[in-house]
Structures are given as structure tokens and as C-alpha cells.
Amino acid sequence: MSSTADLTLVTGATGAIGQAVVERLTDGGHPVLALDRDPTALDGLQNRFGAQVHTHACDLADLAATPDLLADLLERHSPLRRLVLNAGVWPTAPIVKMTDEIWEENFAVNVTSPFMFLRGLVPAMIEAGGGAIVCTCSRNAHRSSTNNAAYDASKAALLALVRTAAGEFARDQIRVNAVSPGVISTPSTAEIEEEPFRSTYLRQIPMNRYGAPHDIAGVILFLLGEDAGFVTGQDLIVDGGQIACQDSSRLMEAEAEGESP
């Protein structure tokens, strides 16, 4: 069993948001247990952040292997009192062309894996006196988009899981929350930087920019920390005001173009 205290488990740790979370945690002196399916990227993460980062390669889509994975993590690192369930996938297709494999991969990684982590890790967290869990959800849990039925449905299901878990674990001093990013500029979403998409889409975001990974990491760190000690069952939407101000932004756009509201 690891003697390192205060480990925070982060799934999807080598992605843009995951790396931003790891950076914020290690900058604050918090060691990290980084999980990802890419061993090479994990090696790069450990080289970047040093001894504060412990890595474990795993494929969260392999649900049959997850119980053994969790047992191994508990044996090595228990108790894990802070979880950032950040891993996600988004293979897409129109509904009538969507294969079972696309649907099942979205739900396996985005919903069933977080469920299994909660089921497998929370009992030790309860014995340790409580903890904090943050799941990376999506604005698509609130506003759907075409050709993304599996992703949208899986993120809505994840949000429902967060709320149910928050109610079940609250008496054990375990807080469970979600953060729902809007459009985030990362290396894997280069197409959103291209014109005319960029300028057209930015008109829907009142803050007139895409989010950055550190925008999401900061919210996750808040939800993990003591300042959020009375916050549970919540979803913080981090989208530059897109959803909340959607009607207002459309009105402002129409006025700017000289149209009648």
C-alpha cells in the first residue's frame, strides 16, 4: 500500500483537461494518481511533474477488467479520498447510422466506468471519513447537438448519476459534483479553430472566446477543496455564458445586424 497521503485519482489524465487538473494539483502540493489508456503519454506526464505523479495505464472501456483494476488501486493506494472522473469519449454518427459499438463505447467510458469507480472505491472512502468526487460532464447534458446522440445521452446519464450519488453519500461526508464544460480549445478539437466555424460559433458565446483547459481545472479544484465544503449534487456549467445567455446573445446579434428583435 502506498504511504503517500492525499492522493487524488484523475482519470483521462493525459488529455488537455486532465493535464491541467494534474498541473493545478501538483502545483498545490497534492500528489496525483494518473490513469489513462496511453502508457507513453503517462510516461510523459510523470516526466513533466516528477515524483508527485503516480501513473497507471488502463482502458476504461474494458469494463470486465475494471473490478480487478479497482482492487489493485485500493491495495496500492487506499484510501483514495478525492476522485476526478474525467475520462470521456465522443465517437459520433447520425442516429440512423450509429452502430452498437459507438453507442456502447460512449456509455461504457462516460457512464458505466464512473459508476463502477463509485461502487468500488467509495466504501474505502467512507471508512476513511469521507471525501470529494468530481465528474467531468458536458454542456451536451443540457443542450444536445446533432449526430451526437450517444455522447449527449451518456453525459445526461452521468449527470443523473452524480445527483443520485450525492444524495446517497452525503451522510458519509462524501461530496459528489459535476463540471460541464462548454466548447474548450484543445489539440484534439482543432477543427473548431478553423474559419468560418470559429467566428460563427463565437457569436453564440457571450464571453467571445472558447474555454481553455485551465478554466475547467480551476472549477474542479474548487469542487474538490474545502471552499466547496457545503456543495454537493451540483453541476457547474463552464461555457462562457452560452447556455444561460443564449436568448440574449441572439437578440444582441440581431440588433448588431440591424434586424428587429
Q: Angle CA(235)–CA(236)–CA(242) in degrees, nearest 5? A: 120
Q: Which residue is catalytic, options 49, 90, 151, 169?
A: 151
Q: Return the closest-CA partner of residue 21 out of 51, 43, 44, 53.
A: 53
For cell 463502477, what's the residue?
Answer: 116
> How many CB atoms neighbour CB 208 within 10 A?
11
Question: Do residues 66 and 113 lie in contact, with contact meaning Cβ atoms separated by under 8 Å?
Answer: yes
> How many CB atoms neighbour CB 72 within 10 A?
12
d(CA 120, CA 208): 41
Grid coordinates representing 56? 497507471
* Cα of 49 vs its chain's centroid, Å: 21
Q: Is 151 considered catalytic here?
A: yes
Peptide bond before residue 196 is cis, with ω within 30 degrees of 0: yes
Which H or E element spans position 199?
helix 197-202
d(CA 216, CA 18): 9
Q: Could you give the 3-state DSSP secondary structure of residue 128?
A: coil
User: Which residue numbers are catalytic?
Assistant: 151
